[in-house]
């Protein structure tokens, strides 16, 4: 018999940026289920539902131990009726019928396979599915026109599905660093994204590049890309220019959440084995997705905070800033709407202080 007092009740603040979320998840079955429903919603153009499931999953990720009964969840934030139903199903029956049904559905499977191609988003996948395309094979047979990114994505599909290890990320980091200092001595690179949060694997590797002297970073990306290309390290790249201009009278947040740094989406050719020539049919390299971002030093702290993630942690930081502090936070700047001015910062700690938040280190931003 279970004593009422033995039922652990948890207490968790509702904003993910008020919580410390490590990679030590005690409820992976529940969070996987909710994340799958979030993914399905996002792929189906139901972003509101997607965020609701992401928030619910994040609350469970922050719990100090496994949930054994729904009574423990009383009073927890972000758990709507739908998420609670899914959780109860799993706790009581071992599985959620909705999750199992979604996983098996032809539509979800097709959306997954197609959007797993680099360069293919939900809208494109949706259109292809309407044309009866549900698999890579059907796509190849269909005669659909693919853009350059999608062609590269299809060509390197199997490699890009393989998780990238920390060792591979570090190997790429050394090459990128060599490129960066060769074209601009004194320039610095920082590993960002999931690896900065301490993840052991990732779907890509993200780097932030800057130079301690403001302005020296201008025009850097094309030079880095040329260097990498000349050495044969890039299988694909697309560079987009910096389009950020600080408005005289704010706010910091651009129309979309997409930031406006000079950035490069690439597919890297990483040599995996320096040994003797491999048997025919085997190759000694793999393709890895790499994202490069260049920021001026004056925006570096904001870029670092904005690109370290997790995506939900970032979203919650911006929500906190807007709703609780009347400030607009982006990867470029922090604007105080009441004072009508930008707040300068040279470290992530300063930004947390402006926002009235306790500092959360990267390893505890895994919401
Ligand atoms: P991702 O590389 O997509 O995610 P991740 O590194 O957290 O996870 P994974 O291991 O699967 O790669 O994005 C990294 C961070 O960059 C994320 O917090 C969101 C941010 N970001 C932007 O600020 N702008 C953008 O346009 C994109 C795509 C990401
Ligand atoms: Mn990443
Ligand atoms: Mn991720
Ligand atoms: Mn990335």
Strand partners, 185: none
- For 126, the domain range is 106-155
Which residues line the pocket of ligand 1, CB cutoff 6 A? 193-194, 199, 202-204, 206, 258-259, 306-307, 309-311, 314, 331
pTM of the model: 0.93
Which ipTM did the prediction report?
0.93
**Phi, psi at residue 120, to the nearest 5°?**
-110, 120
Alpha-carbon distance of 163 to 287, in angstroms, equals 11
From 307, 329, 366, the mutation candidate for ligand 1 (largest count of ligand atoms within 8 A of CB) is: 307
Q: Are residues 293 and 280 in the same domain?
A: yes
Q: Are residues 264 and 171 in the same domain?
A: yes
Strand pairing report for 327-329 and 201-202: unpaired
Is the Cα torsion angle 80, 82, 85, 87 positive or negative in sign?
negative
How many domains in the chain?
Answer: 4
**Phi, psi at residue 353, to the nearest 5°?**
-60, -50
Q: How remote is the CA of residue 92 from the centroid of ligand 1, in Å?
A: 35
| Segment-wise mean pLDDT, segments of 10 residues, the chain, 367 residues | 60 96 98 98 98 98 96 95 98 98 98 98 98 98 97 98 98 98 98 98 98 96 98 97 64 55 95 80 93 97 98 98 98 97 98 98 98
Q: Are residues 169 and 293 in the same domain?
A: yes
Count other C-beta atoms under 10 Å from residue 44's C-beta.
15
Catalogue the active-site residues: 204, 206, 291
Q: Are residues 267 and 186 in the same domain?
A: yes
Q: Are residues 284 and 194 in the same domain?
A: yes
Q: Which two tokens stand for residue 177?
A: 């660093």
Q: Are residues 40 and 146 in the same domain?
A: no
CATH number reported for the structural domain that contains residue 312 in this entry: 3.30.210.10
């Amino acid at each position: 018999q279970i004593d009422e007092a033995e039922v652990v009740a948890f207490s968790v603040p509702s904003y993910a940026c008020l919580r410390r979320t490590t990679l030590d998840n005690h409820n992976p079955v529940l969070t996987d289920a909710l994340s799958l429903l979030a993914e399905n919603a996002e792929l189906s153009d139901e972003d509101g539902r997607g965020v609701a499931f992401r928030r619910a999953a994040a609350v469970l990720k922050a719990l100090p131990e496994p949930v054994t009964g729904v009574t423990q969840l009383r009073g927890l934030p972000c758990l709507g009726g739908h998420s609670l139903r899914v959780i109860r199903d799993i706790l009581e029956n071992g599985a959620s019928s909705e999750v199992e049904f979604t996983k098996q559905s032809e539509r979800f499977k097709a959306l997954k396979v197609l959007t797993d191609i680099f360069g293919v988003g939900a809208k494109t996948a949706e259109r292809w599915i309407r044309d009866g395309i549900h698999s890579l094979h059907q796509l190849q047979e269909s005669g659909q026109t693919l853009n350059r990114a999608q062609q590269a994505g299809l060509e390197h599909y199997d490699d890009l599905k393989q998780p990238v290890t920390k060792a591979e990320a570090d190997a790429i980091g050394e090459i990128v660093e060599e490129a960066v200092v060769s074209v601009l001595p004194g320039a610095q690179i920082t590993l960002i994204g999931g690896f900065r949060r301490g993840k052991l694997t990732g779907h890509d590797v993200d780097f932030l590049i800057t130079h301690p002297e403001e302005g020296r970073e201008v025009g850097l990306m094309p030079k880095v890309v040329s260097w990498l290309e000349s050495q044969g390290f890039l299988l694909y790249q697309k560079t987009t220019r910096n389009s950020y201009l600080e408005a005289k009278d704010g706010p910091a947040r651009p129309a979309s959440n997409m930031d406006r740094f000079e950035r490069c989406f690439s597919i890297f050719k990483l040599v995996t084995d320096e040994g003797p020539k491999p048997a025919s049919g085997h190759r000694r390299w793999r393709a890895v997705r790499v994202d490069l971002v260049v920021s001026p030093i004056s925006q570096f702290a904001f870029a670092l905070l904005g690109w370290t993630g997790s995506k939900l942690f970032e979203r919650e930081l911006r929500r906190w800033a807007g709703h609780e502090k009347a400030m607009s936070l982006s990867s470029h700047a922090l604007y105080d709407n009441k004072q009508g001015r930008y707040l300068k910062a040279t470290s992530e700690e300063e930004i947390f202080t402006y926002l009235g938040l306790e500092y959360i280190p990267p390893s505890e931003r895994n919401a």
